Amino acid sequence: MKKLLLLIALVFSVVWGNAQKIKAFTLSGGYVRADHNMKFDGTFQPLTTNPINSWGLDAGLEFWRTPVFSFSTSVGMIKKGYNYDIAVTTVTQPEGTGEVIEGRARLNYLYLAPRFAVKLSSKKIVPYVFIVPRTDVFLYSSHTLHTNDGSKITDDGSFGGFRDFYKKNHRAVLLGVTSGAGLEIKIHKNISAGIEAAYLVDITPAVRTATTSNSVGMKAYNNAFSASLVFKHYFGKE
């Protein structure tokens, strides 16, 4: 979070220092529905995961604009991840005790995304669509285990040790694509507000391990849906 705040502060200083060159400044943030797709090599079934509710924040600069097209770039932070269930077994009950341990994995990224948008201009309401090549920089992860009643327990490695697994195997940089649509409403000659929905897909896997004599290889991809509030300030005559 400190890295994101410093980055936003830097963006603000650049904005006000170069207002003649920059067409607009954007702040957005909101809801993220994130999940993880894990596929194992060979005939093994994928690990079933459950999506999580999370959040994302974004600051952007628009450098070029026409009545139909625009180009901008943005930086932000997003929390992705997933939940997964682990059936508890014992020596006397190898088929399961009926108890389930819930694992909660949270993956935090800083991203950079140049953005090309196509819009339908009007005086008050501007609908638009966009596609964004995205670079995600992995910051840190947290992995916790919880009992049926929600109590947190210590992950000592007995249930897979996903925390240590991700520290060792997560890629530092991921490539992805974000596409979506939004609606911008002009509330002042230089200020607008709106809503935006997007789907985020990773091209490169967050984790890729090889099959060995002791383990089965796997690869895991992030995916997410976001719904955000967007505030935009135009510089000069809009």
Tell me, what's the pLDDT at 43? Answer: 60
Name which of 58, 60, 54 is nearest 110 in CA terms.
58
Distance CA 106, CA 146 (A): 14
Residue 110: alpha-carbon gap to chain centroid:
9
Cα–Cα dist 120/67, whole Å: 8
pLDDT of residue 3: 57
pLDDT of residue 91: 64
DSSP assignment string, 57-98: EEEEEEEEE-SSEEEEEEEEEEEEEEEEEEE---SS-TT--S
pLDDT at 160: 54
Averages of pLDDT over runs of 10 residues in the chain (238 residues) are 58 54 91 90 73 95 90 93 79 70 88 93 89 92 80 64 72 94 92 96 89 78 96 80
Question: Which pair of tokens denotes residue 235?
Answer: 């510089």
- Token readout for 123 is 């005086």
Task: Give the amino acid at 100.
Answer: V
**Alpha carbon distance 24, 191 (integer Å):** 9
The candidate with the shortest Cα–Cα distance to 118, out of 191, 67, 73, 74, is 67
In order of their start, the domains of the chain are 2-234 (2.40.160.20)
CB 141 within 8 A of CB 166: yes
Q: How many C-beta neighbours within 10 Å does residue 109 have?
A: 23
H-run or E-run covering 2: helix 2-17
- Output the pLDDT for position 17: 54
pLDDT score at 126: 93
The pLDDT value recorded for residue 136 is: 96
The total of other beta-carbon atoms located within 10 Å of residue 87's CB is 11
Asked whether the beta carbons of 134 and 112 are under 8 A apart, the reply is yes
**pTM to 2 decimals?**
0.81
pLDDT given for residue 18 in this prediction: 54
Contacts of 156 (CB under 8 A, 6+ apart): none
184: nearest Cα among 77, 26, 55, 22:
26
Q: State residue 22's pLDDT score.
A: 85
